[in-house]
Amino acid sequence: MRYVKLGRTGLEISPVVLGCMTYGVPDRGNHTWTLDEAQSRPFLRKALDLGINTFDTANAYSDGTSEEIVGRALRDFARRDEVVIATKTFFRWHKGPNGGGLSRKAIFHSVDDSLARLGTDYIDLLQIHRFDPDTPIEETLEALHDVVKAGKARYLGASSMYTWQFAQMIYTARLHGWTEFVSMQDHYNLLQREEEREMMPFCIDEGIALLPWSPLARGRLTRDWDEGSTRQQSDVFGSTLYGGTEDADRAIVAAVKQVAEARGVPRAQVALAWVAQREGITAPIVGASKPQHLDDAVTAIELTLTADEIATLEGGYTPRAIAGFE
């Protein structure tokens, strides 16, 4: 496994990140398709065996049980200094006032809760899960800076928002000398390329790492368009991400199948290789609920698509509304 730097930092991460939303108690939260702890641990162990050292979770995944499962597995299977643990805060993780958002109180509380669930003294990459329009960004940014200075987080990252919001946060932090964001998790795949218009060029210009989430479009790029899955049928959030451009999406899915069959490789490898080859991409975030998902992810990183294959994959795309900011 070759490792890459996280943006302009010296932190080395694997070129594919294991997304851990898949791992959590199924009856906690709204992810009924998740794997419980006994089912999850083999995937976390296999990821480590394949050389993946970076694991992305969130305090809101399965009511925090994802952090608990990931934390226990990594303590059992790896040395703390050899792994990179990323988690997120913003979405509500407990009932009542101050149980979500990016106020100073919520950030401090959520970080302490995440550290306890993960069973670690520090978070390698603490990310804001979304932009909080109800809290002054100065309050959020100073609180995040103080978390870093307290030694509870090493680096800061962000996830889906408008580019103007992210730019405002970057430059406000810079103005005050506060810790800046080093990474952006954005929604990016062959079915959703709107981030190419502003967010990706901005991050490339600023040297900010791009860690795309849902690079396989919730599995839609790995199977025929009319073929569903258990997760697709019960994934409430996922159902809001795609739709309204069905003819174009069908053509893109068919193009993935065409390229994959000509190459003699699984469709997942082709779709993921396309994301990994895009300018500025540091490491796609990939979920795994079947053993071959991890094998495909690691193999895809080394798969180089030709210019003709890329043209085939991109030819059917049409502009669409952004999705995933909520």
18-76 tens-digit pLDDT: 999 999 999 887 778 899 999 999 999 999 999 999 999 999 999 999 999 999 999 99
Per the domain annotation, does 321 fall within a domain?
no
Domains in the chain, number: 1
Cα(279)–Cα(263) distance, rounded to whole angstroms? Answer: 23
Per the domain annotation, does 238 fall within a domain?
yes
Q: Between 163-176 and 137-149, two packed helices, what is the crossing angle to 10 degrees?
A: 60
DSSP 137-191: HHHHHHHHHHHHHTTSEEEEEEES--HHHHHHHHHHHHHHTPPPEEEEE-B-BTT
Per the domain annotation, does 320 fall within a domain?
no
Per the domain annotation, does 212 fall within a domain?
yes
157-196 pLDDT per residue, tens: 999 999 999 999 999 999 999 999 999 999 999 999 999 9
Q: What is the pLDDT of residue 236?
A: 58
Residue 255 in 3-state DSSP? helix
Q: Which residues are tagged catalytic?
A: 61
H/E stretch holding 87: strand 84-89
CATH number at residue 138: 3.20.20.100
Q: Which residue has the higher pLDDT, 99 or 83?
A: 83
Domain that holds residue 213: 4-314
Per the domain annotation, does 319 fall within a domain?
no
Per the domain annotation, does 264 fall within a domain?
yes
DSSP 24-84: S-TTSTT-TT-B-HHHHHHHHHHHHHTT--EEE--TTGGGGHHHHHHHHHHHHHS-GGG-E
Report the DSSP pairing between strands 4-5 and 12-13. Answer: antiparallel
Sign of torsion over alpha carbons 37, 43, 47, 49: positive
Torsion, Cα 314 315 318 322, to 10 degrees, reads 0
Helices (H) and strands (E) in the chain, counts: 11, 10
Q: Is the pTM of this model over 0.85?
A: yes
Q: Which residues contact 11 (CB under 8 A, 6 or more apart)?
A: 5, 84, 124, 125, 154, 155, 182
186-245 pLDDT per residue, tens: 999 999 999 999 999 999 999 999 999 999 999 999 999 888 655 545 555 556 678 778
Cα(59)–Cα(109) distance, rounded to whole angstroms? Answer: 11
Per the domain annotation, does 326 fall within a domain?
no
Residue linked to tokens 């990140």: 17
Per the domain annotation, does 322 fall within a domain?
no
Cα(82)–Cα(48) distance, rounded to whole angstroms? Answer: 10
252-272 pLDDT per residue, tens: 999 999 999 999 999 999 999
104-150 pLDDT per residue, tens: 999 999 999 999 999 999 999 999 999 999 999 999 999 999 999 99
